[in-house]
Amino acid sequence: CYDYAWRVALTPLVDDSDVVLMDLRGFSRANTGCVFEIEQLAALVPLAKVIFLVDARTDDALLRETLASAAARLGPDSPNSDMATRGVRVFRAGKLGAAMVRRLLAELSAATA
């Protein structure tokens, strides 16, 4: 979808969600839209309810940098206003076979509790 459409749709989607799974497999500096989404999730959703799906191609340093930057700009009414990137759930995926999917579903279930 176009840049303006998904940015407008993001807030209502996360408001109505019990848990958020963000696919960051292959995340790199080329993914500026993902940076916006991470910032919005940090501002709007308790990060204990967010799971970031990563893999060997994910730029882990960039993810940490993006989360730290988002934490530095949080407003006092954010559910993560005292965030120091703690409570962040990262699920490192290899090949998404049946066992990996079961583990991911268990993580998603735990995040709703």
Residue 96, pLDDT above cutoff 80: no
CA distances in angstroms from 96 to 28, 53, 101, 102, 103, listed in the order given? 21, 11, 6, 10, 10
Residue 103, pLDDT above cutoff 70: yes
Burial 80-101 (b: 16+ CB within 10 A, else e): beebeeeebbbbebeeeeeeee
- Mean pLDDT, the chain, rounded, equals 87
DSSP string of 63-99, one letter each residue = HHHHHHHHHHT--TTSTTTT-SSTT-EEEE-SS--HH
Q: Label residue 61 by pLDDT band (50, 70, 90).
A: very high
Q: Label residue 4 by pLDDT band (50, 70, 90).
A: low
pLDDT in tens, 8-36: 778 788 888 899 999 999 999 998 889 98
Q: Alpha-carbon distance 47 to 50, whole Å?
A: 5
Residue 2, pLDDT above cutoff 70: no
CA distances in angstroms from 48 to 45, 79, 84, listed in the order given? 8, 10, 13
18: nearest Cα among 42, 57, 45, 58: 45
Under a CB-based contact definition with an 8 Å cutoff, are residues 88 and 63 in contact?
no
pLDDT in tens, 71-95: 888 888 888 877 655 678 999 998 8
pLDDT in tens, 38-55: 999 999 888 889 999 999
